[in-house]
Amino acid sequence: MKNATLYRHRNAKSLCLVPAFVTFFPPRRLGCFLSTFLLFLSGCASISSPPVSSTPLPKAMTGAYTISGKMIVIQSSGRSSARFRWSEQDGTFEMALWGPLGVGRTMIAGAADYAQIKQGNELLDQGQPGAIMQRQLGWSAPVDVLPFWLRGQVAPTSAAAMIKQDDQGRLLNFTQAGWSVSYANHVQNAGLWRPRKIDIKGRDLQLRLIISQKQPK
């Protein structure tokens, strides 16, 4: 470092490289100066950047919640569709998927850190939700934040960006946790605007949900 001096404090076990102007202080007062200087630097480092968005978000809906409709899964290998029903209460969820006439009904149930997948009464897999969905369905969704997204809300558990609302304050899109979420066709439900169409896009997966029923309990 230019204009710097090596200095050994009387209680230090190693040499420190300090700016040259510091050596103008008498040794007795140098320790006090360095302590004050470091506190100043730590105060500067603690200044945080402003939040991504200060836009007020729609009022959150709480309590048990159930929606159903059609799910379209779009991947690079192609697309598939199924009927679905999602219900949640007290931090747990159940998601049922089935084909025409209820064929191949699959149930995923659990919480953010553990779930089971069953087909009929047969247990197919259990463990971390994303991992078992990938193994059994060929795709996975972030079930830790999905309950908020399906309600038309930004999850409070992580930062979100690119938040956009319409002139009525209805949430239109945002990005969060590496996913892009967009909403359309809002309807009022229990005095709140809720989307009837939800698009959730990840790096190699898109889920499109067409909601036919949305029922807070």
Query: If you average pLDDT over every residue of the chain, what do you get?
Result: 77
How many other C-beta atoms lie within 10 A of the C-beta of residue 99?
Answer: 13
16 vs 104 pLDDT, higher one: 104
Structure tokens at 20: 């040259």
Among 134-138, 166-170, 195-199, 211-215, which is the least confidently predicted range? 211-215
Confidence (pLDDT) at 209: 97
Task: List domains and CATH numbers for the chain.
Answer: 4-45 (no CATH), 65-216 (2.50.20.10)
Decide if pLDDT at 194 tops 70.
yes
- What distance in Å separates the CA atoms of residue 180 and residue 48, rounded to the nearest whole number? 25
Q: Tell me the range of 45-54, 151-160, 198-207 where mean pLDDT is highest.
A: 198-207
Confidence (pLDDT) at 163: 95
Calculate mean pLDDT across residues 44-54: 37
Confidence (pLDDT) at 60: 52
Decide if pLDDT at 58 tops 80.
no
Confidence (pLDDT) at 188: 84
Q: Identify the CA nearest to 155 among candidates 177, 139, 127.
A: 177
Decide if pLDDT at 55 tops 60.
no
Decide if pLDDT at 63 tops 80.
no
Confidence (pLDDT) at 103: 73
Name the strands in the sheet holding 92-98, side by side, starting at the edge strand that comes first in the sequence.
122-127, 115-119, 106-110, 92-98, 78-89, 65-75, 206-216, 192-201, 179-189, 171-176, 160-165
Decide if pLDDT at 215 tops 90.
no
Confidence (pLDDT) at 107: 96
Calculate mean pLDDT across residues 14-38: 42
pLDDT in tens, 92-140: 999 999 997 667 899 999 999 999 999 989 999 999 999 999 999 999 9
